[in-house]
Chains A and B, each alone.
Chain A
Amino acid sequence: MIAIYICAGIAVYAAIRIIGERNTMRKLPLLNVVSFAVTVIIALLLPHPVTSLAAAAYFVGSTLESNAIASTWSGGIKK
């Protein structure tokens, strides 16, 4: 149970850091920190085997979302 507490603390701390950060590019690694911590919370919350599938789906989806925001913000391929 202590692992869930630690990961919840990490998620809230990273979310507060995202609010305090002014540069958009510096927010995106902290967004990944929030996603990883929430993935651990999902995986450890219920003692059921399908929980790992939900955690894997959330991990893939959140990483895809963060990378889509980052690549669109940077402007794509420079011609």
Chain B
Amino acid sequence: MMDEYVLIACSALVLIGMTAAILHRDPFDKLISLSILIAGIFPFIVDRGYLDVAAATAMIAPLSTIFILYVCRRETI
């Protein structure tokens, strides 16, 4: 079970990712901050026992990141 310290740490991960995603200008920095935010929400999903939801989300979230990367890739070849 998740106690107070782990809950505070995961909430801190979510808040750090949110703040960094708001403040950064470069799209790659925004994507990295979004990865921190997604990493912060996973222990909350697992703590309630929704393990199948966690496994499905772990497969779907990188797909969304890859689709965003098609939009913001560099054209300097």
- Taking Cβ atoms with an 8 Å cutoff, the residues of A that contact B are 1, 4-5, 8-9, 11-12, 15-16, 18-19, 24, 27-28, 31, 34-35, 38, 41-42, 45-46, 48, 50-51, 53-54, 57-58, 60-62, 64-66, 68-69, 72-73, 75-79
Asked if B46 and A72 make an inter-chain contact with CB atoms under 8 angstroms apart, the answer reads: no
Q: Check if A8 sits within 8 Å of B55, measured CB to CB.
A: no
| Cβ-defined contact, A65 with B35, below 8 A | yes
Contacts of B12 in A (CB 8 A): 12, 15
Contacts of B2 in A (CB 8 A): 45
Docked pose: A79 CA to B76 CA in angstroms: 10
- Interface residue SS majority, chain B: helix
> A-B pairs with the 3 shortest C-beta distances?
A8-B9, A65-B62, A58-B58
- Give how many A-B residue pairs fall within 8 Å (CB-CB): 129
Of A27, A58, A64, A75, chain B has the most CB atoms within 10 Å of the CB of A58
Query: How many B residues, CB 8 Å from partner?
Result: 43
> Distance (Å) between the CB of A10 and the closest chain B CB?
10
Distance from A11 Cβ to chain B, minimum over Cβ atoms (Å): 6
Chain B residues with Cβ below 8 Å from A79 are 77
User: Is B6 within 8 A of A53, CB to CB?
Assistant: no
In the complex, what's the smallest C-beta–C-beta distance from A78 to chain B, in angstroms? 7
